[in-house]
Chains A and B, each alone.
Chain A
């Protein structure tokens, strides 16, 4: 009997040339990861003084926005730029400022995709052409239980949305962040599935508080804080604030954001600041404002309830955490 024998190497098994050429890079990455692991017992977190990011170019014509005076004491440039989760640059708070030196933010293009009339690739400059940049002082609450008060500079996301005209099918907006392993060393560490993705419901994205941020303290946003384009959604936990955005996609289905994908029982899609709904491992009732000793009571919707609570009328916020 003749048994048909498959060829030894199927086409699907042949290593793609680009992968083959990447082998050396991969081995380097493995060597680095091994070294980092071996150094683990000697180091815990990199402890360093809060040396903030280098100062950037002053932004011209920044208007004081409607939310510029919240009465909160604004945190310093150093605190804001050195104490920050930006896992693409590493898992420690000061990794973003330490490891972002090679990250290139200009020129920058953003791809607009999905359910809209005017998809395409936009230059960052074109994106805020004709926009009045405004300064807004927002409270920023991290899901880990600390908070900052930050003078962002940007323009409302709704203005951009109106320009690209989403169709009636657009129910959500998905944001994708940069994930360049060459300039973002944290991306070599596959703790989250890169690139980082976040999302908002259409009405949240179009809310006047939702800001496309391009600056900080009247200056061009530093790489450590999500340059050149990031989101600020002040009534939501920090991880909803996508940084270094390269893609904005209008979709019909609720997108799966990176942290929800990683631990769906701990991080949800909405992630509204809510002192009554604890993280499974820690309480969200209080927070440490950076620079203070006594913890503050966390406010519902981070204190922006008057503006946003109508978005969630009738929703069970305990289930939609």
Chain B
């Protein structure tokens, strides 16, 4: 087996399974009474935290390539990014169902068009009214176009340069995601602070690289 084949047939499936595992475990634990007395709150919290973990991992790919020279890391970036979207979407879905849908009145029963209408209204008003929901929704909205344009065909259609520019939205998603976590905690900000530091370092790495790249040509010109 070549190195290429190893990555394709062994490492990638292993990373895939490891990435699905937290969600599979959550579903199993929720159904088997292994979560707290308020399992819906646990699922909401956990899927949110896993979104930040996968966003952080995705942002690690470029630093790992540049600093450690491990170029194969690029082959996992799309999968990690899509898992960030997967957990972000599960997080949003849990909120919509367990927090918003479960709080409706259902004057015509649950299966009724009024339910859909009321659900859209209650989610929209919450997104508009509550800053931590607003910013969380912005974070998810940044990930949506990235997931849609994650295929090779879409990269070709957009062109590498435009595709890359679009996918810098990851930076916005990660930053707003951390803010969303920070704004929702009641008192102890240590957990969101951990992600603020991680995402902060990963973004600072980009700034440092750009600053260096910008200064190098001028130096060369000066030397010539």
Contact = CB atoms under 8 A, between A and B. Distances in A.
Interface stretch (A57-65, A76-84, A166-174, A203-211): A76-84
Given A41-B194, A44-B45, A191-B187, A49 B33 contact: yes
Given A44-B46, A189-B188, A281-B184, A83 B194 contact: no
B29 interface: yes
Interface magnitude class on chain A: 35 or more
Interface stretch (A11-19, A20-28, A248-256, A290-298): A290-298
A71 interface: no
Query: Chain A interface secondary structure, helix, strand, loop or mixed?
Result: loop
Given A41-B53, A191-B188, A281-B130, A49 B38 contact: no
Give the bracket for the number of chain B residues in contact with chain A.
20 to 34
B21 to A, nearest CB: 14
Interface string A24-58: 00000000000011001100110111100000000
A304 interface: no
A144 interface: yes
A295 B103 contact: yes
B163 interface: no
A41 B195 contact: yes
B201 to A, nearest CB: 12
A230 interface: no
Contacts of B187: 87, 91, 191-192, 262-263
A310 to B, nearest CB: 30
Interface in A182-196: 189, 191-192
Q: Which of B53, B132, B186: most chain A CB closer than 10 A?
A: B186
Contacts of B184: 281
A136 interface: no
A146 interface: yes
A94 interface: yes
B55 to A, nearest CB: 12
B191 interface: yes
Contact of B191 (A44, A48, A78): A44
B125 to A, nearest CB: 9
Nearest to A143: B186
A144 B186 CA distance: 9
B22 to A, nearest CB: 10
Interface in A71-99: 75, 78-79, 82-83, 87, 91, 93-94
A288 interface: yes
Nearest to A52: B37
Contacts of A79: 37
Contact of B33 (A50, A144, A146, A290): A50
A295 B95 CA distance: 13
Q: Point out which of A75, A87, A295 has the most chain B C-beta atoms below 10 A from its C-beta.
A: A295
A285 interface: yes
Nearest to A144: B186
A189 B183 CA distance: 19
A91 B188 contact: yes
B102 A281 contact: no
A40 B190 contact: yes
B92 interface: no
A307 interface: no
Contacts of A75: 37
Contacts of A281: 130-132, 183-184
A50 B29 CA distance: 12
A286 interface: yes
Contacts of A295: 99, 102-103
Given A93-B36, A191-B188, A288-B41, 10 more contacts: A40-B191, A44-B49, A47-B29, A49-B33, A50-B36, A82-B36, A262-B187, A290-B37, A293-B40, A295-B99
29 contacts: A36-B190, A37-B193, A40-B191, A41-B194, A41-B198, A44-B49, A45-B42, A45-B45, A47-B36, A47-B46, A50-B33, A79-B37, A82-B36, A82-B37, A87-B187, A93-B36, A146-B38, A189-B188, A191-B187, A191-B188, A281-B130, A281-B131, A281-B183, A282-B130, A288-B40, A290-B38, A291-B37, A294-B102, A295-B102
